[in-house]
A and B are shown apart, each in its own frame.
Chain A
Amino acid sequence: MFRQIATFVPATLLFDKHPVELAMTLEEVWNRRVALTAPSGHPDNRSPLDGMPPWMPFPLPDPLPGSDRAGTFRWDHLIYAYMVENTRVVEVMRRVVLEMAHGEKLGTPTAEAQRWLRNTEELFFKDGAPFFVTSLTSHLRPDARAMRRNAYQRMFGMELNHGGDDGQPVAYVKAEASNREFVATFEEFLREIWVGMTYVNASTTANPTDDSKIAALAEKLSDMLRSRRQNGNLAREEFAAVAAMSWFHLTLEFESPIVKALRVESTGLEQTLFKIAERVGLPAHGLAKHFFEIADPLSRLLIQIEMGTYNAAAAVPALYTRVTPAAGTPENALRTIITHWTAITGRDVKSRKVAAA
């Protein structure tokens, strides 16, 4: 989300903004959902809830595309937040803010870094101001980390690969209704797509690609994801998680004030994360590169699956047929997803399932 906003306003200005301006920008993003007439929970209209009313003060100049609050905005799928959080970036950045707030072990922050620290603490490590869409922590759910874990468990049946800063598991409420079959279904989906990619050019052998099966798996995934989103359920949790992860992602991707202040500039954002992790004495996940790489394409694919685009077998060839230009196509995204999913999970979705005789 912040990464998209940074394409319209300089990231340096974004990091320099007052926290209330950033919070109001998020409200405006929420209010500019793609189609407010779409059913609640649909990727074009995640929730029936309103953000701040239009007469509230808004940052000027408008940091969002479009003028007069006319442009629409889409944000990433919850899977994006799940993948980025698995890098352990939140815990590492939490340690940075903690060290900077309590001493000078990491040096004295520059003026720009102080603004970044203030924004980060205000927006993501503090109970939000009342009435904001992203202010989710309360007396009932005081820990934002536990809240995100609850959302991941409900939507994907998956847990994060790490615990808290102290290495202990983070306690959270596990919901009874969760998509426990998401991983198995998604891997079967990827496996069938890979068969399609393998045989798309075949001319001398029988083609085992099964478009109908892929469509059935896509529909199953669509149904289970949309079931968790009925009437806009989990929308605010997704929005808050995506906003937080995109802030930290942008911090690493861009030579942000804190990266400069810590003098950890590197080639590759995972290398920057590793350097920061080393400075604060809290290791990041060794597969961070794969988590960062898979986050974007997987987010786009699941948004489209939730739209029900591939529930029809006739649309399925788009998933495995290469077209020109390849950039920005589902086939290209799926190649990236298959590669990094295999690396992350250790399960090779390129191999066929062995059936018992």
Chain B
Amino acid sequence: MSRPSPTVAAPESAAAASSSFTGTTAPELAALLHSVLLSVRNSPPGAAAVQPLTAEAEAAIGQFRAIDAVLTVATVFAPAPVTTP
């Protein structure tokens, strides 16, 4: 017994078949989504969220760098003196 082949009615058009309840059509939604994704992709990660440092914070970093520079040990030790025969 052969099964009846399903018959799918071709949509009259993609827009007519899938308009949202607000009336926005699928192509419009796709365009909107595309622009959102593109703007996210083009902005550096977190760039918009990081607040600029205050003068106090900048000064604290400078102070830490100064302490670190004094206390940091050289990864390459001072060279041994060259002795001449």
- Give the chain B neighbours of A328 by CB distance below 8 A: 64-65, 68-69, 72
Whether A323 touches B53, Cβ cut-off 8 Å, given contacts A7-B74, A296-B71, A328-B72, is: yes
A-B CB pair tally, cutoff 8 Å: 104
Interface assignment of A36: CB less than 8 Å from any CB of chain B = no
Give the contacts of B43-85 with A (CB-CB under 8 A).
45-46, 48-51, 53-61, 63-65, 67-74, 77-81
Name the B residues within 8 Å of A314 (CB-CB).
54-57
B contacts with A, residue count (CB < 8 A)? 31
How distant is the Cα of A28 from the Cα of B69 in the complex, in angstroms? 20
Q: What DSSP secondary structure best describes chain A's contact surface?
A: helix
Interface contact A318-B58, CB-CB below 8 Å: yes
State how many angstroms separate the Cβ of B69 from the closest Cβ of chain A.
Answer: 7
Interface residues of A (CB under 8 A from B): 3-4, 6-13, 73-76, 200-203, 253-254, 296, 299-301, 303-304, 307, 309-310, 312, 314-319, 321, 323, 328-330, 333
- A/B interface sample: 28 pairs, CB < 8 A: A4-B70, A6-B73, A6-B77, A7-B74, A10-B81, A11-B78, A13-B80, A13-B81, A76-B71, A201-B46, A201-B49, A202-B49, A296-B72, A299-B71, A300-B67, A309-B64, A310-B60, A312-B56, A315-B56, A315-B57, A315-B59, A316-B57, A318-B53, A318-B64, A321-B53, A323-B61, A328-B69, A330-B64
In the complex, the 8 A-B pairs of residues with the closest C-beta atoms, listed nearest first: A201-B46, A203-B49, A314-B56, A318-B57, A318-B60, A315-B56, A7-B74, A3-B73
